[in-house]
Amino acid sequence: MTILNATRLTALVLGLAIACCCISQEAAACTVQQAKDAIAAAKTENEKAKAANNEWRDTAKIIANAEKALADGYCDKALQLAHQAYQQAENAIAQAQEEQQGLEQWQAQHRRVDRRVEPLNPSIRGHPQVENAGSRKQQVERPVKVLNPSLRVH
């Protein structure tokens, strides 16, 4: 390889590196409107999480920090914080939905079956034959006398 070709190759590599840096800086630079929109989206998503009764502890603080960063002129930091708050709010909503589904599944599995089982002894209180019988006396629950009050179960 000649020196001329090596110089051209070096110039090409440096040119590409500089172009990549310029493109990434332009993409990373945000406008105030983008940051405001991101903060508004994060607030809206956090309101949905509040409505689901599952707002995460730090989300509102992150939104407040994003607003403060935007007011101080740190647009990139505000945008980053707004995205973080939005993600947290989305995760909070997903968590609330998963917990609700889990609760519904658990309730479906543990639902009490209302079956009337006839007791073997019809004199048991609550049995229809005993309650409807006018000539028989219904059993009355009497309080248990506790001899030692310190043993009472609360």
Whole-angstrom distance, CA of residue 152 vs CA of residue 138 = 28
Kindly report whether the global pTM for this prediction surpasses the value 0.75: no
Q: Return the domain boundaries, the chain.
A: 40-107
Per-residue pLDDT tens over the stretch 23-72: 444 445 789 999 999 999 999 999 999 999 999 999 999 999 999 999 99
Q: Look over the chain and give the mean of its residue pLDDT values, rounded to a whole number.
A: 75
* CA dihedral sign of residues 74, 75, 76, 79: positive
* CA dihedral sign of residues 16, 17, 18, 22: positive
